Amino acid sequence: MTTVPTDGKRKHVFIRTYGCQMNVYDSDRMADVLRPLGYALASAPEQADLVVLNTCHIREHASEKVYSELGRLRDEKQLRRAEGRDLTIAVAGCVAQAEGEEIVKRQPAVDIVVGPQAYHRLPELLAEAERKAAVHKAGKRVPGAGVLDTDFPAESKFDHLPAPQGARGGSAFLSIQEGCDKFCTFCVVPYTRGAEYSRPAAAVVAEARQLVANGAIELTLLGQNVNAYHGEAADGSTWSLARLVREIAGIDGVARLRYTTSHPRDMDDDLIAAHGEVPALMPYLHLPVQSGSDRILEAMNRRHGRDLFLGIVDRLRTVRPDLALSSDFIVGFPGESDSDFDDTMRLIEQVGFASAYSFKYSRRPGTPGSSMPDQLSESVKSARLAALQSLLGEQARVFNVSKVGQSVPVLFAEPGRKPGQIIGKTPWLQSVYAEGPQRLIGRIVETRLIEGYANSLAGEIVTGAYEAAA
């Protein structure tokens, strides 16, 4: 076990999170694991004894950012060592999983490399790293610096992680599923996060209750393929995501429920019906389509075509007419022609998205896409991305403006940039800022939307809503 300071001086950890919400959740859980060891959270690497980079490997650029941050941390470590102090550097997340030992070879200042399935082992890894650092200080040779754990253990990390601590601004993430068996030809997730795994339903429901007891009123269920959820229930049956959503929505205190990220193939009838029947399920769905061309969807091994996606959208809008849709798009996949790209633009026009994430195709070593012929030039990818983002940006603006004049419930989550300002989310996951007291953070307050922009709305708290929320 690593040493807990007894001199009243707390240790500090700084965790930098890259990538998706699953990483945000994992970072919180790492903080939970480290707290009993005496680690408080630091707000900058300079104030920390331990820095954890919780990395993302989804695009090439993402891992390069990690290496340049590691260069800066190495400099900080060298400075401290010259003063007789130390800095422990850990790399977690998908880059850790994918590159393992390579990280320590490329940046020997790294002390710990830990994959997403091994966070519960952080205390042992820290103890081992401390032992190695002590040997180093004594001037002895360190047998292979860097402590590594990138196994996919048979037991679930969830069985070993401590109970979650709480909610930020009334909102909390809850990881229910990890990994992916779909093997889209562009994607590293099946290699870095491993096979699809669903947590048992009872464990998820217990964690949901705990989060609500700790102050959460909004829960977002997370998974790389969250709607492929098939968790074992206490009676031996298997619960789908729809079944789980209905159960969690029934917990007293759950005002808002969301889930992400979904795959079109796994949008089953019951889940679609739940959007019309479960009031806590918010009218917003992130449903990645990637492309509007059947030819490219096939080459991506997405296992769904354009029509299946459009059919799901129609059915969802039938049961929940005010549903806002969001999606992920990749432009410039190998072999994508002008006409394939036009198909994507036409799909966007047909659906009308409230928000979206869009990316240039990035060649990931080891994925089938990286060795496909007809890789596109950067200039073609950039031009297509600009056209696509301009269309999606305009749709987002139009969607925001369409809500102006309405009074809607906003969950305020944090202080705004200006004094006296607070920021929250509408049911459609739009950011709203308004003048209001900090005590409204973590509460849902009726707010009139007065102006709409590309990425946010200005709001005015409805008179009397303070008292209702108090």
- The footprint of ligand SAM (CB under 6 A) covers 20, 58-59, 186-187, 189, 224-225, 261, 263, 288, 290, 328, 330, 359, 361-362, 364
Among 190, 194, 442, 452, binds ligand SF4 (CB under 6 A): 190
C-alpha distances in Å from residue 382, one per residue of 360, 367, 378, 388: 7, 22, 6, 10
Cβ(233)–Cβ(202) below 8 Å? yes
User: Of 357 and 453, which has the nearer Cβ to ligand SF4?
Assistant: 357
Among 55, 198, 225, 447, binds ligand SF4 (CB under 6 A): 225
Tell which residue, 225, 219, 223, 208, has the closest CA to residue 164. Answer: 208
Dist CA 446 CA 168 (whole Å): 20
Among 121, 263, 364, 384, binds ligand SF4 (CB under 6 A): 263
Dist CA 178 CA 156 (whole Å): 11
Residue list 363-402, contact with ligand SF4 (CB under 6 A): none
Residue 20 Cβ, how far from ligand SF4 at the closest point, in Å? 10
**Residue 194 site contact among ligand SF4, ligand SAM, none (CB < 5 to 8 Å, cut-off depends on kind):** none
- CB 76: neighbour CB atoms within 10 A? 16
Residue 310 Cβ, how far from ligand SAM at the closest point, in Å? 17
Bridge partners, 408 (sequence order): 447
For residue 93, the surrounding DSSP H or E stretch is: helix 93-99
Residue 189 Cβ, how far from ligand SF4 at the closest point, in Å? 4
Dist CA 192 CA 194 (whole Å): 6
**Residue 124 site contact among ligand SAM, ligand SF4, none (CB < 5 to 8 Å, cut-off depends on kind):** none
Is residue 180 at the binding interface for ligand SF4, with CB under 6 A as the rule? yes
Is residue 246 at the binding interface for ligand SF4, with CB under 6 A as the rule? no
Is residue 249 at the binding interface for ligand SF4, with CB under 6 A as the rule? no
Among 90, 187, 211, 280, binds ligand SF4 (CB under 6 A): 187
> Using omega within 30 degrees of 0 as the cis cutoff, is the peptide bond preceding 463 cis?
no
Cβ(238)–Cβ(232) below 8 Å? yes
Quote the Cα angle for 258-277-407, to 5°: 65
Is residue 183 at the binding interface for ligand SF4, with CB under 6 A as the rule? yes
Point out which span in 178-186, 239-247, 336-344, 409-417 binds ligand SF4 (CB under 6 A).
178-186
Quote the Cα angle for 42-209-285, to 5°: 80
User: Of 65 and 303, which has the nearer Cβ to ligand SF4?
Assistant: 303
Cβ(224)–Cβ(191) below 8 Å? no
Point out which span in 49-57, 121-129, 185-193, 374-382 binds ligand SF4 (CB under 6 A).
185-193
Residue 116 Cβ, how far from ligand SAM at the closest point, in Å? 12
**Residue 183 site contact among ligand SAM, ligand SF4, none (CB < 5 to 8 Å, cut-off depends on kind):** ligand SF4
Dist CA 414 CA 84 (whole Å): 39
> Phi and psi of 356, rounded to 5°?
-165, 155
Dist CA 398 CA 392 (whole Å): 10
**Residue 37 site contact among ligand SF4, ligand SAM, none (CB < 5 to 8 Å, cut-off depends on kind):** none
Dist CA 55 CA 34 (whole Å): 18
Is residue 182 at the binding interface for ligand SF4, with CB under 6 A as the rule? yes
User: Of 17 and 367, which has the nearer Cβ to ligand SF4?
Assistant: 367
Residue 260 Cβ, how far from ligand SAM at the closest point, in Å? 9
C-alpha distances in Å from residue 412, one per residue of 100, 429, 440: 40, 12, 7
User: Of 19 and 164, which has the nearer Cβ to ligand SAM?
Assistant: 19
399 residue type, one letter: F
User: Of 146 and 264, which has the nearer Cβ to ligand SAM?
Assistant: 264
Using CB under 6 A, list all residues that contact ligand SF4: 180, 182-184, 187, 189-190, 224-225, 263
